[in-house]
Amino acid sequence: MNRSDGKASVVTEEIASFTDNGILLKSGEELTADVIVTATGLNLRVLGDIRFEVDGQAIDFPSTFSYKAMMYSDVPNIVSTFGYINASWTLRSDLTAEYACRLINHMDTAGMRQCTPRLREEDRDMQALPWIENFSSGYIQRCTHLLPRQGNRTPWVNTQNYDLDRKMIRDGKIADDVLEFSNPVT
Ligand SMILES: Cc1cc2nc3c(=O)[nH]c(=O)nc-3n(C[C@H](O)[C@H](O)[C@H](O)COP(=O)(O)OP(=O)(O)OC[C@H]3O[C@@H](n4cnc5c(N)ncnc54)[C@H](O)[C@@H]3O)c2cc1C
């Protein structure tokens, strides 16, 4: 069957709900259907849906602040990649990979096995903002409540700005007043 046979049609409307017989549109019209193939947007799995734990306690990522939009407050030894939504994804992936290498080299040199971003005293009352701002795509809107938060100051921001990220990530010192290094090699 194709559309030119007059046996198929296209309806452009908002879907309100499923019904016993098909789909109810916002207009009130009901479309009957034998089979429904849904394509109203994927549901993103945050950090691959992996259950991360620290000392047996599951990490609640929405309760954490992102450190340079790649590590998470009070979560040791994890770096994840999130690129740009307004430029090449890999531009930021490269900065992240480069930073991760510098971090590992620093830990090797210092003889430390653990690094953990910790909120500073002045960060404790920081407002928790969405992981990413001004991004209306459905697949992000649907999972924003599951994502880590960002703060309103360096280094807790997801700037989505290459110039600012270069300063924060590439030019920033590894040993700053936020990253805590612990668990020395004995
Ligand atoms: C800036 C940006 C860059 C990206 N870059 C890449 C990239 O380089 N590579 C890559 O692989 N992916 C990229 N993505 C992701 C990719 O666009 C999405 O993963 C993909 O579009 C998801 O497809 P989807 O069919 O699941 O959902 P969508 O493309 O979101 O389609 C869902 C459709 O369903 C409609 N809909 C939802 N609810 C209803 C309703 N109730 N009634 C009627 N219609 C409804 C929506 O209006 C929408 O048109 C990018 C996304 C963005 C925003």
Q: What is the pLDDT of residues 109-160, one digit of tens each?
A: 999 999 999 999 999 999 999 999 889 999 999 999 999 999 999 999 999 9
Has residue 38 been placed in a domain?
no
Distance CA 165, CA 138 (A): 26
Give CA–CA dist 97/92, Å, rounded.
9
The C-alpha atoms of residue 45 and residue 23 are separated, in whole angstroms, by: 27
- For ligand 1, atom 1, which residue shows the shortest CA distance? 85
- 76 and 149 part of one domain: yes
88 lines ligand 1 (CB under 6 A): no
**26 and 50 belong to one structural domain:** no
What's the CA-to-centroid distance between 140 and ligand 1, angstroms? 10
Q: Distance, CA 137 to ligand 1 centroid (Å)?
A: 7
Residues 59 and 151 in one domain: yes
Helix%, strand%, coil% for the chain, nearest 5: 25, 20, 55
Q: Which residue is it, tokens 């990490």?
A: 59
184 CB within 6 A, ligand 1: no
Averaged pLDDT, groups of 10, the chain, 186 residues long? 75 96 97 94 89 95 97 97 95 98 98 98 96 92 95 97 97 97 96
pLDDT at 48: 86
CB atoms within 10 A of CB 116: 20
Quick check: is 103 in a domain? yes
Query: Does a structural domain hold residue 59?
Result: yes
Q: Does residue 57 share a domain with residue 28?
A: no
Instruction: Find the 40 Cα to ligand 1 centroid distance in Å.
Output: 8
- 115 and 26 in a common domain: no
CA of 35 to the centre of ligand 1 (A): 22
> Domain check: are 54 and 15 in the same one?
no
Structure tokens at 37: 């193939």
Q: Which residue range is the domain that position 11 belongs to?
A: 3-32
Count of domains observed in the chain: 2
Answer yes or no: do 84 and 20 share one domain: no
CA distances from 81 to 67, 69, 110, 140, 173 (A): 12, 8, 25, 16, 19
92 and 22 in a single domain? The answer is no
On whether residue 41 sits in a domain, the answer given is no
Residue 40 lies in a domain: no
Report the percent of the chain where pLDDT is more than 90: 90
Atom 9, ligand 1: which residue's CA is nearest? 89
Pairing of strands 71-72, 66-67: antiparallel
Extract the tokens encoding 89: 């994804």
pTM for the whole thing? 0.84
Per-position b or e across 16-55, b if 16+ CB within 10 A of its CB: eeeeeeebebeeeeeeeeeeeeeeeeeeeeeeeeeeeeee
Residue 138 near ligand 1, beta carbon < 6 Å: yes
